[in-house]
């Protein structure tokens, strides 16, 4: 009996995706719950697991766009034993007849596939890879190159390729690949935000001395009690909640011709992943303590990097915090994450000479940037919000007394 492996429903707004990677090969014997593939959509990258054990037959290749509900593989549940490994010292007569030529043997599977499809012999193509190895790019160039007639042999041949001046052997001047659905969606949303919102940015700088001293003083006790480190992001999440409560206009958004005022505090935290930028949402930050926020940030960030993030993890945020400082950014203008009306950008901490009580002292300073939709938020409100965030970071005791 064969079990169909289908693309599951991932959310009402997701109709298709790209099967980006198979974790198994055609004919493998898989175990129940074993990861089979990675599916990239315009919102998330998810893994599909085997629902039963058996021998798998793949129906689609990597890079294929598949629809929700489409069958991408079959699992034969009656075959659960591993096939015996072939003896590398012996070959059947058929295998001997189909043994690859030396040039093909040195080539990768992509080269052999192109050779089979086009009839171009890799032995006749000058390789630009390591030790003269023929690459996929060499074969594609050979396929599109004008052919000349070999008078002595009476057949067409492929012109010999030469290395382009200024490039070293084994390198290509360009590579080209199609945008993943996630990257394409990121690009679309960023352009949408800039085209549709009247976006402005206001800046300030914050003295990180107090927060850094608190982290240093209580870090060990915090880790022992909660099992996670006390990071900067929980301080900023709490400061943002305070700012949103003091300036409610920031916690609103446009929907058509209506202005929607939010009365909850689900804060998005931008996370860089190998697939691109994602913004998992930390729910009800006003009701969480510092440890609760740190635990949720760590959990969703890990799911995002592992490709196990869910659609629910990414939806419903009212405000976003992005931290370019971890990459060394000194100052930037973050782009709003629609339909939200504002975003806070954090930057690198640098020691600077500052005037404090008439004295010049060295302090760890960070630039803050708030980009906002001027259709919803006035300049006064944006500046006031940023000042409130600054005040809490420089004097966290304000959170205790509600000042």
Our answer to whether residue 220 is catalytic in this structure is: no
Q: What is the DSSP letter of 75?
A: E
How many other CB atoms are found less than 10 A from the CB of residue 129? 19
Tokens of 326: 């971890």
Tokens of 75: 């699992």
Could you give the CA distance from residue 109 to residue 136 in angstroms, rounded to a whole number? 9
Tokens of 24: 């198994």
Q: Are 342 and 371 in contact (CB under 8 A)?
A: yes
Could you give the CA distance from residue 335 to residue 197 in angstroms, rounded to a whole number? 10
Q: What is the DSSP letter of 275?
A: T
Tokens 């404090």 label which residue? 356
Could you give the CA distance from residue 368 to residue 371 in angstroms, rounded to a whole number? 10
- DSSP H or E segment with residue 244: helix 232-246
How many other CB atoms are found less than 10 A from the CB of residue 279? 21
- DSSP H or E segment with residue 260: strand 258-261
Annotated catalytic residue, options 220, 312, 374, 395:
374
**Own/partner pairs, 275-280, CB within 8 angstroms, 24+ separation:** 275/40, 275/45, 275/180, 275/182, 275/183, 275/307, 276/180, 276/182, 276/183, 276/186, 277/186, 278/44, 278/304, 278/309, 278/314, 279/314, 279/317, 279/320, 279/337, 280/304, 280/309, 280/313, 280/314
Annotated catalytic residue, options 33, 221, 306, 378:
378
Taken in order 369, 371, 376, 379, is the CA torsion positive or negative?
positive
Our answer to whether residue 378 is catalytic in this structure is: yes
β-sheet bridge partners, residue 58? 73
233-247 per-residue burial string, b: 16 or more CB within 10 A, e: under 16: bbbbbbbbbbbbebb
Residues marked active site are found at: 374, 378
């Amino acid at each position: 009996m064969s079990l169909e492996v289908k693309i599951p429903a991932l959310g009402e707004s997701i109709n298709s995706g790209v099967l980006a990677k198979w974790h198994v090969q055609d004919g493998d014997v898989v175990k129940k719950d074993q990861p089979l593939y990675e599916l990239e959509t315009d919102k998330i990258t998810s893994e599909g697991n085997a629902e039963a054990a058996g021998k798998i037959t793949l129906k689609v290749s990597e890079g294929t766009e598949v629809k929700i509900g489409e069958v991408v593989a079959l699992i034969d549940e009656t075959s659960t034993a591993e096939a015996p490994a072939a003896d590398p010292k012996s070959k059947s007569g058929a295998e001997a007849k189909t043994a690859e030529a030396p040039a093909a043997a040195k080539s990768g599977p992509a080269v052999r596939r192109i050779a089979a499809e086009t009839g171009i012999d890799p032995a006749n193509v000058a390789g630009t890879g390591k030790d003269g190895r023929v690459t996929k790019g060499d074969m594609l160039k050979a396929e599109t190159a004008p052919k000349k007639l070999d008078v002595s042999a009476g057949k067409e041949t492929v012109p010999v390729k030469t290395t382009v001046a200024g490039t070293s052997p084994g390198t290509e001047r360009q590579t080209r690949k199609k945008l993943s659905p996630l990257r394409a969606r990121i690009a679309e949303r960023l352009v949408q935000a800039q085209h549709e919102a009247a976006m402005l940015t206001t800046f300030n700088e914050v003295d990180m001395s107090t927060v850094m001293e608190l982290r240093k003083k209580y870090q060990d006790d915090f880790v022992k009690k909660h099992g996670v480190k006390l990071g900067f992001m929980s301080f900023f999440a709490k400061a943002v909640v305070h700012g949103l409560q003091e300036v409610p206009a920031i916690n609103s958004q446009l929907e058509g011709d209506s202005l929607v005022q939010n009365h909850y505090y689900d804060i998005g935290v931008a996370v860089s992943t190998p697939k691109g930028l994602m913004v998992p949402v930390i729910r009800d930050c006003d009701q969480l303590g510092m440890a609760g926020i740190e635990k949720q940030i760590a959990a969703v960030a890990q799911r995002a990097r592992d490709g196990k993030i869910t659609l629910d993890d990414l939806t419903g945020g009212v405000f976003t915090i992005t931290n370019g400082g971890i990459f060394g950014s000194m100052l930037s203008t973050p782009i709003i994450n629609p339909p939200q009306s504002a975003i806070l950008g954090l930057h690198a901490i640098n020691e600077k000479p500052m005037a404090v009580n008439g004295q010049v002292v060295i302090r760890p300073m960070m630039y803050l940037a708030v980009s906002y939709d001027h259709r919803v938020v006035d300049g006064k409100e944006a500046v006031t919000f940023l000042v409130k965030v600054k005040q809490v970071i420089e004097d966290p005791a304000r959170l205790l007394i509600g000042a």
